């Protein structure tokens, strides 16, 4: 796919008031496809969020905790040896990592979990539920619930509980109840459905901390706004580091929260290329992948219209990825919108590509990225040869890989 960075997009379409519009839509995507029971709660949540952002005491409290509890701002780190690795005789791009892996709990997920927990407290909700795939969002939610003394139930597919046993134990250690989900494929999709069913049942006492930029409006906006701190910091740090905007942003995309958090403050800066990397699993030519944007079609899942992996009859298909966090047949509606506009580009890399990248980054930079994050790194193989000297790339190093060492060892044939 050729670079589309020079094609000017209508500014109105990229303006914040179009993402989402007053109906909770991003172009044709988004909306609220949920049981009526939840509609008043979604309206309440949207109102609470709008009021909270206007309230200095809320914003101050959030910022204070992001700093003292989460450890923000995270550094923008110049990956010199990775840069060197991709340097050609005629030069090459410079690679920077936005170190979200250094956040408390080891991934970007806590930005949103913390923000939503503060919102839940504001709304007087005492019980929190969440879904989790890799367990990072579950751990982040369990963490903030412990911090605020909130009851916490995390829905997790049984298959993912096996793959991410360490995170299951972490959540339990933090006092959360981890509820196994055995329906369907027993992965993130089914855990999300089950969390929504819990919310339908307990909506009056419970807040649902959805972990991605997916779900019914206002979640895609709400989750993005809590993660936008990633992009806002990166923008400032780029100016400090090299005096201008970056040229390329790269992030992995499952539901798309870390990517949206990085992209958001740059969406209207059309000189900045934005690249999302999906999980191609065993290959997009096979039926075992999770490349929703590159391979999916328009549909409705978990309350939003977006691109979706589905069969000829509109039944949602199983997704497959070595990374539990990307193993999702849907994607956030704003990504589908940015794709349609041509504002962001989306590609996919296989399990094997991600495994190779994980080892490369570990050995060159002394940073073990999460398997999810490794997908973003893997795209450098394709991208770097096309970029000229002086190009500044920012990769969202969205999570650390400690949780994945067992999976990686198994896949490369090492018995621990």
In the complex, the residues that contact other proteins under the rule CB under 8 A are 23, 31-41, 183-184, 189, 193, 196-197, 200-204, 298-303, 305, 308, 310, 313-316
In the sheet where 127-132 sits, what is the strand order? 177-181, 151-157, 127-132, 206-208
Q: Pick the closer one to other proteins by CB: 12 or 36.
A: 36
Nearest to 343 by CA among 268, 258, 396: 268
Please tell me which residue in 212, 323, 336, 398 is annotated as part of the active site: 398
Q: Pick the closer one to other proteins by CB: 191 or 371.
A: 191
Nearest to 304 by CA among 326, 279, 334: 334
Please tell me which residue in 98, 109, 189, 235 is annotated as part of the active site: 109
CB contact at 8 A, 228 and 261 = yes
Q: Pick the closer one to other proteins by CB: 134 or 196.
A: 196
Question: In the complex, what is the shortest distance from the CB of residue 134 to other proteins, in angstroms, rounded to a whole number?
Answer: 20
Question: In the complex, what is the shortest distance from the CB of residue 184 to other proteins, in angstroms, rounded to a whole number?
Answer: 7
Question: In the complex, what is the shortest distance from the CB of residue 313 to other proteins, in angstroms, rounded to a whole number?
Answer: 4
CB contact at 8 A, 59 and 115 = no
Strand partners, 177: 153
> 9 exposed, middle or buried (CB, 10 Å; 0-12, 13-18, 19+)?
middle
- Residue 104, SS3 per DSSP: coil
Question: In the complex, what is the shortest distance from the CB of residue 255 to other proteins, in angstroms, rounded to a whole number?
Answer: 15
98 is catalytic: no
Question: In the complex, what is the shortest distance from the CB of residue 270 to other proteins, in angstroms, rounded to a whole number?
Answer: 32
Q: Pick the closer one to other proteins by CB: 83 or 132.
A: 132
Q: Pick the closer one to other proteins by CB: 41 or 139.
A: 41
Q: Pick the closer one to other proteins by CB: 38 or 176.
A: 38
Question: In the complex, what is the shortest distance from the CB of residue 356 to other proteins, in angstroms, rounded to a whole number?
Answer: 33
- Residue 127, SS3 per DSSP: strand
Strand partners, 248: 273, 393
Q: Pick the closer one to other proteins by CB: 125 or 403.
A: 125
> 312 exposed, middle or buried (CB, 10 Å; 0-12, 13-18, 19+)?
exposed
Question: In the complex, what is the shortest distance from the CB of residue 26 to other proteins, in angstroms, rounded to a whole number?
Answer: 15
SS3 content of the chain, % helix, strand, coil (to 5): 45, 20, 35
Please tell me which residue in 100, 125, 131, 189 is annotated as part of the active site: 131
Exposure class string for 242-264: b at 16+ Cβ within 10 A, else e: eeebbbbbbbbbbbbbbbbbbbb
**Which single residue is written with the structure tokens 């793959």?**
163
**Which single residue is written with the structure tokens 């339990």?**
172
How many angstroms from the chain centroid is the CA of residue 85? 27
Work out whether the CA dihedral 233, 267, 342, 19 comes out positive or negative. Answer: positive
CB atoms under 10 Å from CB of 265, counted, come to: 18
323 is catalytic: no
Active site residue ranges: 109, 131, 398
């Amino acid at each position: 796919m050729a670079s589309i960075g020079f094609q000017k997009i209508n500014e109105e379409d990229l303006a914040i008031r179009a993402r989402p519009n007053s109906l909770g839509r991003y172009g044709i995507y988004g909306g609220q496809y949920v049981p009526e029971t939840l509609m008043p709660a979604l309206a309440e949540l949207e109102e609470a969020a709008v009021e909270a952002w206007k309230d200095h005491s809320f914003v101050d409290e959030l910022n204070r905790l992001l700093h003292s509890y989460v450890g923000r701002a995270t550094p923008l780190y110049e990956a010199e040896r990775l840069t060197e690795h991709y340097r050609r005789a005629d030069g090459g791009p410079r690679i920077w990592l936005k170190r979200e892996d250094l956040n408390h709990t080891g991934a970007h997920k806590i930005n949103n979990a913390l923000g939503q927990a503060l919102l839940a407290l504001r709304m007087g909700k005492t019980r929190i539920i969440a879904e989790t795939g890799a367990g990072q969002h579950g751990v982040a939610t369990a963490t903030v619930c412990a911090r605020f003394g909130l009851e916490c139930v995390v829905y997790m597919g049984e298959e993912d509980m096996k793959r991410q046993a360490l995170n299951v134990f972490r959540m339990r250690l933090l006092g959360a109840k981890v509820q196994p989900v055995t329906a369907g494929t027993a992965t993130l999709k089914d855990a999300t459905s089950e969390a929504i069913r819990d919310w339908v049942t307990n909506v009056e006492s419970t807040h649902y901390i959805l972990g991605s930029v997916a779900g019914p409006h206002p979640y895609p906006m709400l989750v993005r706004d809590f993660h936008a701190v990633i992009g806002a910091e990166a923008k400032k740090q780029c100016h400090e580091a090299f005096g201008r905007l970056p040229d390329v942003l790269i992030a992995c995309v499952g539901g798309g929260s870390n990517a949206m958090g990085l992209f958001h403050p740059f969406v209207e800066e059309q000189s900045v290329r934005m690249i999302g990397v999906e999980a191609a699993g065993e290959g997009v030519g096979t039926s075992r992948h999770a490349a929703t944007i590159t391979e999916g079609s328009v549909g409705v899942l978990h309350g939003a219209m977006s691109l979706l992996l589905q069969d000829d009859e509109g039944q949602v298909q199983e997704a497959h990825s070595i990374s539990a966090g990307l193993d999702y047949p849907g994607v956030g509606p704003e990504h589908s919108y940015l794709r349609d506009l041509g504002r962001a580009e989306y590609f996919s890399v296989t399990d094997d590509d991600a495994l190779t990248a994980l080892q490369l980054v570990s050995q060159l930079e002394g940073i073990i990225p999460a398997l999810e994050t490794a997908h973003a790194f893997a795209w450098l193989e394709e991208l770097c040869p096309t970029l000229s000297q002086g190009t500044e790339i920012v990769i969202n190093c969205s999570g650390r890989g400690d949780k994945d060492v067992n999976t990686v060892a198994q896949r490369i044939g090492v018995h621990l």
